[in-house]
Amino acid sequence: MLILGGILVLGIFGVGVYNSLIRRRNRVDQAFSSIEVQLTQRYDLIPKLVETVKQYMGHERTVLEDIVRLRQKAVSATDPSQKIAADNELTRAMGQLNVTLENYPQLKASDTFVQLQRSLNEVEEQLAAARRSYNASVMEYNTAVQTFPNSLIAGSMDFGTRTMFVADDKKRGDVDMRGLFQA
Amino acid sequence: MSPSPATLDAATRARVQAGCNFVNSEIGRLRKRVTMITIAAVGGAIILWMFMGGGDPRLPVFAALAISAFFANRARLELKKSYKGIVVRRMVAALGKGLSYTAESTMSRATFDDMDLFSERGDRFESEDQVIGKKGEVPYALHEVRVRRKERSSRNRVMFGGGGAQLIAFGIDALGSRSLSRGNFVFSGLVVQLDFNKNFRGHSVVVPDKEAQILGGLFGESERRKSKSIVHLENPDFESMFAVYSSDDQEARYLITPKLMELIMEAQALLGAQLRLCFMSNHLWVTVPQEKDRFDVGLFSGTVTPESVLGDFIEVVALAERLVDTLDLETRIWTKV
C-alpha cells in the first residue's frame, strides 16, 4: 500500500513537472514566433530602404549589396540558431548602413526615406523587445530543465536547452540612429 | 524653458500684484469674520452651558466648534474661488507660453481607476486644478488629485461622510496651512499625463515592488491587475524598486526599454517621490505624491505675493517638463511623430 502510494505521488509529481516543462517550452516557441513576425516586417522594409537610398549612394553600393545578400540568407535560414546568426550579421550590416547614410544629408529631405527609417526604427525596437521576451522565456525554460529534480525528467524526455539571442561583440558598438533625424 | 519671475514685465506684474492685493484684502476680511463668529460661538456655548446649570460641557463645546468650523469652511471656499479665479488665472495668462489653467480638472474617477496604479480603490475622489502645456512637441497635462479612504472609528462609524467631525476637519484645514495629512489618503498629489513617443495598444503599469510583494503574496492582487501578468525585466536595480504588470509582456518590453528603466529610476531620484507609471491610450501617466495642496490658500497661511503664486506654478510646470526631459519623450524617431 505504502509502495503504491509512493508510486502514485511520484507519478503525479512527474506529470506535473512534465506539463510545466511543456508549458515553458511552448512559451519559448511562442516568443520565437513573435521574433519571426518582426523579422518578416524587417525583411519587407529592407528592399524598400535599399531602393530609396541606392540612387543617392554611388560608390558605396557594396554596403547595400551586402545587406541584400544577408537579408536573403536570413530569409532562407530554417532553424532558430541559423536564424539568430543570420540576424546578427544583418543587424551589423544595417548598423554600417546607418553610419554610411549619415554622409548623405540630402536623404533627410526625402519623406519616403524618413518614413522608412521611422518604420525601421519601430521594427528594430519591437524586435529588441521580442528578443528580450524570448530570452526571458528561454532563461525560465533552461533553468527549469537544468535544475534538480526537473533535470531527471527533462533528461529522459529529451527537453534540451535553448539558445538565447546574444548581441555579438561587433554589434555591441552599434550606432545611434537618432542622428539621422537631426537637422 | 520653465517660466521664471523674470518673465513678468512691469505691467503684467502690476496686474498680478493687484490680484494678490485683492485676495489679501479678502483674507483679512474673512479672517475677521471667522474670528468674530468663533468668539460669538464660544460665548454662546458658555452661556448655554451656564443655562444648563454646568454639568457635561461636551455638547456646547462641540456645537461651538461645529459652528466655527462650518463658517471657516465657507470662508475657505470663498477665498479659494477668488484666489484661483483672479490670481492664478491672471498669472497663467501673463506667462503665456501656451500654458492654460482651469480650476476644474478633466481627470475623472473612471480614468484614475482605469490606470490601475493603486490596489486600494478609495472611497472619495477629488480632482481639481488642471494645467495644460507643451514641452517642445510633447503635450502634457497635470491634475491635482486626492483619493480618500473612509476612516472608521472604534465603533466602525464612517467619519468623513458628514457631521461635525468633517466640519472640524475642514475648519482646521481652512485655518491651518495648505499641507494635507496623508494618513487618510490612498493618493494625494499630481497626476501628470504625457504624450508618449511610441504607439501602443495594451496596458502596462509600473508600481513599487514592495507593494507587489506584499499585496501579491499575502492579500492577492487587485481584480483588474489580475488580468495582467507580471513582467520580469533585466535590470536588477529596477526590479528591486518596481514591479511591472502588463496585458502584453512583449509590448511592455517595447515600451520599457533598458534605457527607460534607467530613466525612470533617475526621475524617481530626481523628484524624491515614489513614482507610479501607467502606459495607457498612447499616453504615459505618472503619479507624483505631494503633501502640499497647490493653487490653494488658507485663511491663516500668510500673505499672497506674485512670487509665492509663481513659485507654486513654476514647481508644477517644472515637474512636467523635468519628466519629459528625464524620460526622453521628445525623442521621436519611431512611427509616432
Q: Sort out which chain B residues have CB atoms less than 8 A from A132's CB and list them.
A: 234, 253
For position A81, what pLDDT does the model report? 80
Assess B300–A contact: CB distance below 8 Å, yes or no: no
Give me B216's grid cell.
501579491
Domain membership of residue A7 (yes or no) is no
Select the residue from B239, B250, B255, B336 to test the A interface by mutation, using most A Cβ atoms within 10 A: B250
Q: Which residue has the cell 534605457?
A: B259
Q: Sort out which chain A residues have CB atoms less than 8 A from B234's CB and list them.
A: 132, 136
Give residue A101's Cα distance to chain centre: 24
Interface touch A125/B254, C-beta < 8 Å: yes
Domain membership of residue A110 (yes or no) is yes
* Helical pair A2-54 and A80-101, crossing angle rounded to 10 deg: 30
Question: How far, in Å, CA of B318 to CA of B324, rounded?
Answer: 10
Question: How far, in Å, CA of A162 to CA of A81, rounded?
Answer: 9
- The residue segments making up the domain with residue A43 are 13-167
For position B200, what pLDDT does the model report? 94
Tell me: pLDDT of B159 over 50: no
Residue A73, helix vs strand vs coil: helix
Assess A110–B contact: CB distance below 8 Å, yes or no: no
Tell me: pLDDT of B59 over 70: yes
Asked if B105 and B316 count as a contact pair (C-beta separation under 8 A), the reply is no
Give me B184's grid cell.
487618510
Between these two residues, A172 and B30, which has the higher pLDDT value?
B30
Domain membership of residue A174 (yes or no) is no
Torsion of CA B110, B113, B116, B121, to 10 degrees: -170
**CA-to-CA dists, residue B108 to B16, B125, B144, B289, angstroms:** 31, 8, 11, 18
pTM (2 d.p.): 0.77
For position B112, what pLDDT does the model report? 95
Domain membership of residue A125 (yes or no) is yes
Asked if B131 and B194 count as a contact pair (C-beta separation under 8 A), the reply is no
DSSP B239-290: HHHEEEEES-HHHHHHHS-HHHHHHHHHHHHHHTS--EEEEETTEEEEEEE-
Domain membership of residue A44 (yes or no) is yes
Between these two residues, B152 and B50, which has the higher pLDDT value?
B50
- Share the mean pLDDT of chain B: 82
Interface touch A133/B253, C-beta < 8 Å: yes
Contacts of B310 by beta carbon, 8 Å cutoff, 6+ apart: B3, B4, B5, B8, B91
Torsion of CA B276, B279, B283, B286, to 10 degrees: 0
Confidence of residue B163 (pLDDT cuts 50, 70, 90): very low
Asked if B246 and B252 count as a contact pair (C-beta separation under 8 A), the reply is yes
Domain membership of residue A21 (yes or no) is yes
β-pair partners for B292? B179
Average pLDDT over residues B181-205: 89
Between these two residues, B326 and B164, which has the higher pLDDT value?
B326
Run of H or E including B30: helix B10-51
Domain count, chain A: 1
* Helical pair B306-326 and B10-51, crossing angle rounded to 10 deg: 110
Asked if A68 and A150 count as a contact pair (C-beta separation under 8 A), the reply is no
Asked if A132 and A98 count as a contact pair (C-beta separation under 8 A), the reply is no
Question: How far, in Å, CA of B22 to CA of A12, rounded?
Answer: 80
Q: Across the interface, which of A126, A128, A178 has its CB nearest the CB of B331? A: A178
Domain membership of residue A8 (yes or no) is no
For position B223, what pLDDT does the model report? 46
Average pLDDT over residues B315-321: 87
Assess B328–A contact: CB distance below 8 Å, yes or no: no
Tell me: pLDDT of B35 over 70: yes
Question: How far, in Å, CA of B209 to CA of B225, rounded?
Answer: 14
pLDDT tens for B259-303 read 899 999 999 998 899 999 999 999 999 999 988 777 888 888 778
For position B186, what pLDDT does the model report? 93
Asked if B193 and B114 count as a contact pair (C-beta separation under 8 A), the reply is no
Tell me: pLDDT of A24 over 90: yes
Asked if B327 and B136 count as a contact pair (C-beta separation under 8 A), the reply is no
For position B177, what pLDDT does the model report? 43
Interface touch A130/B333, C-beta < 8 Å: no
Of A7-11, A58-62, B105-109, B134-138, give the lowest mean pLDDT range.
Answer: A58-62
pLDDT tens for A39-70 read 899 999 999 998 888 888 777 778 888 899 99
Question: How far, in Å, CA of A114 to CA of A175, rounded?
Answer: 17
- The distance of A31 to chain B (nearest Cα, Å) reads 9
Confidence of residue B4 (pLDDT cuts 50, 70, 90): low
Average pLDDT over residues B142-148: 94
Confidence of residue B224 (pLDDT cuts 50, 70, 90): low
For position B194, what pLDDT does the model report? 96
Confidence of residue A182 (pLDDT cuts 50, 70, 90): low
B18 sits in the region (left: phi over 0; alpha: psi -120 to 50; else beta) called alpha
Domain membership of residue A177 (yes or no) is no
Q: Sort out which chain A residues have CB atoms less than 8 A from B332's CB and list them.
A: 181
Output the domain CATH number for residue A89.
1.20.1440.20
Q: Respond yes or no on whether the N-terminal peptide bond of residue A149 is cis (omega within 30° of 0).
A: yes
For position B231, what pLDDT does the model report? 92
Tell me: pLDDT of B167 over 80: no
Average pLDDT over residues B306-322: 83
